[in-house]
Amino acid sequence: MTQLDQFTLTTVPLEQYFDEMPLGQGTGFMWKIGDRYYLVTNWHVLSMCDFFTRANLRKDAGRPNVLRTLFNIRTGSFEKQRWDIKIRDENDRPLWLVHPSRRVDVAVLPIPFKQEGLIIALYPLNILANAALRIEVGMEVFILGYPFKIAPPAFPVWKRGSIASEPVLARLTTDYMLVDTASRPGMSGAPVIRRSWTNHMVNPGVVALVDTPLNKFIGVYSGRVPTDHPYEAQIGLVWDGSLIDEIIAGNVKDE
């Protein structure tokens, strides 16, 4: 029997549309609090505006009102089911939630789990990747996203990177840490995980060898550090994972 890594199933490919006009693509993933499900991605994926400058990312100033998504189906096959999710209401107001500080490039879209005609399976990342692994500078991480055109079988690329700044300083300074990796725009909104295969370093010590890997969710990838230098470093931003629960608890819709 062919088996996929369960974390390959956690990501959701996103295509941004204004009605039927395609605008771009990104990555998202599922989150669950109580009996509610949420789609997590970057703020700039939903708004289609640069997070730092607030300028529109398209020359025609287009912005999406629908996300065309592909979810895994429950039957155990490799097929996926399309689900078009509205991200703006009938008055063009955003339906997604933002951090109360409004200084975070992470957005959370509440979604109903039961939809007529859908046979999708959801894999909330916060339920699956919660091992007590230590997170330290220099450690290897994986960014699970869609750097290429979204086409069958529509599973993510596991892009390797390494932590390039002190993680403990993230919430004390910028709310993001740096990772050394190269990426493409379609990976915006991808989850970043730490995977440990053997001799797991956990808080506060080391655990003996076990036959299964441990995984910990770290945060949300939002692309490379902006720079005008022609030989820019391949350094990306990862927003701290704790911000997601703060966004949900704050329940603040974007303006």
Domain boundaries, the chain: 6-253
Mean pLDDT of 5-32: 94
Q: What is the per-residue pLDDT across 154-184, written as a single tens digit (0 to 9) for each?
A: 899 999 999 999 999 999 999 999 999 887 7
**What radius of gyration do the chain's Cα atoms show?**
18
Return the bridge partners of 160, or none: 142
Look at 81-85, 169-173, 178-182, 230-234 and tell me which has the smallest mean pLDDT. Answer: 230-234
Look at 94-108, 132-146, 160-174, 223-237 and tell me which has the smallest mean pLDDT. Answer: 223-237
pLDDT at 229 over 70: no
pLDDT at 60: 85
Using CA atoms, how far apart are residues 155 and 133, in angstroms rounded to an integer? 26
Q: Which helix (H) or strand (E) holds 14?
A: strand 11-18
pLDDT at 16 over 80: yes
pLDDT at 42: 97
Chain mean position to CA 129: 13
Using CA atoms, how far apart are residues 63 and 66, in angstroms rounded to an integer? 9
Using the CB atoms, write b or e for 188-203: b if 16+ within 10 Å: bbbbbbbbbeeebbee
> Given pLDDT bands bounded at 50, 70 and 90, which one contains residue 130?
confident
Between 3.90.950.10, 2.60.15.10, 2.60.120.10, 2.40.10.120, what CATH number should domain 6-253 receive? 2.40.10.120
